[in-house]
Amino acid sequence: MENIKLNNGVKIPQLGLGMFQIEDDKVLKQAVLAAIKAGYRHFDTATLYRNEQALGEALAESGIARDDLFVTSKVWNTVTTYDGTKQAFADSLKKLNMDHLGLYLIHWPTEGYLEKWRALEDLYSQGLVRAIGVSNFEKKDLNTLLAHARVKPAVDQVETHPYYQRPELHALLKDLGIAYESWSPLGRAKNGALQDPLLQKIGQKHNKTVAQVIIRWHLQKGEIVIPKSTHEQRIFENSNVFDFALSADEMKQIEILDKNESMN
């Protein structure tokens, strides 16, 4: 697995496993252990996902040293205060059975996000989290945050896939030195990029699945990418993307697929 260096010098695995909508503890543990076996060390969860405890148990069961793991969690929108954010973080740490996190994010730019950010800055300065960032923040949200922040966000995690490529946000984050992280990187399961004829053609050329082509595309754009799966074979396939490269022409062809089509 390859790493990306964040703006504070911390290294984050560029490929991780997303935990969204995996609420069955047994299914989650099987997925996490399969991912560990496939070489994943980066796991992305959130208070909203209600699976932090199961993730913590699975990681403990894996036998991998905690210092070799990178776990992200997120504070949910119902928390609107400084104290509430610190308590939410403490709750997440306890459920995950960890003494620190790799990355902690504000899940959405909703009420109180400046107070929440102040709490994240203090958690960071206390060494309880290696990096802090945001999720689903657009240009206006970032500008407001940066006008008040002592610590610049290390990451903005946003929806991105071949049909929703966000070139303006990409350029902005690059200029700001904020890492771009993609959630839902494969797009819709039905009637989406996974069924796109061009991507199928590129996959056939490289003897790869469409999902592998899409993940490789994200990686070559310099993004952190967290595809979600609970199927052992797909988890392995999604990680088997470091033995080929898309050509400049193929990258350009995929760029043309953009429809500015969000799943929200």
- pLDDT single digits (tens) 42-99: 999 999 989 999 999 999 999 999 999 999 999 999 999 999 999 999 999 999 999 9
Catalytic pick among 40, 49, 164, 180: 49
Sign of CA dihedral 184, 233, 42, 223: negative
Predicted confidence band of residue 192 (pLDDT cuts 50, 70, 90): confident
Q: Is 155 exposed, middle or buried (0-12, 13-18, 19+ CB in 10 A)?
A: buried
Backbone torsions φ then ψ of 140, nearest 5 degrees: -65, -40
Q: Does residue 180 have an active-site annotation?
A: no
Q: In this predicted model, what pLDDT tens digit does every residue of 111-138 receive, in sequence order?
A: 999 999 999 999 999 999 999 999 999 9
Of 72, 13, 66, residue with least CA distance to 39: 13
Q: What pLDDT is attached to residue 264?
A: 77
Predicted confidence band of residue 165 (pLDDT cuts 50, 70, 90): very high
- CB within 8 Å of 46: residues ≥ 6 apart: 19, 20, 73, 74, 76, 105, 107
Question: Any binding-site annotation on 107?
Answer: yes
Domains and CATH numbers, the chain: 3-186+222-243 (3.20.20.100)
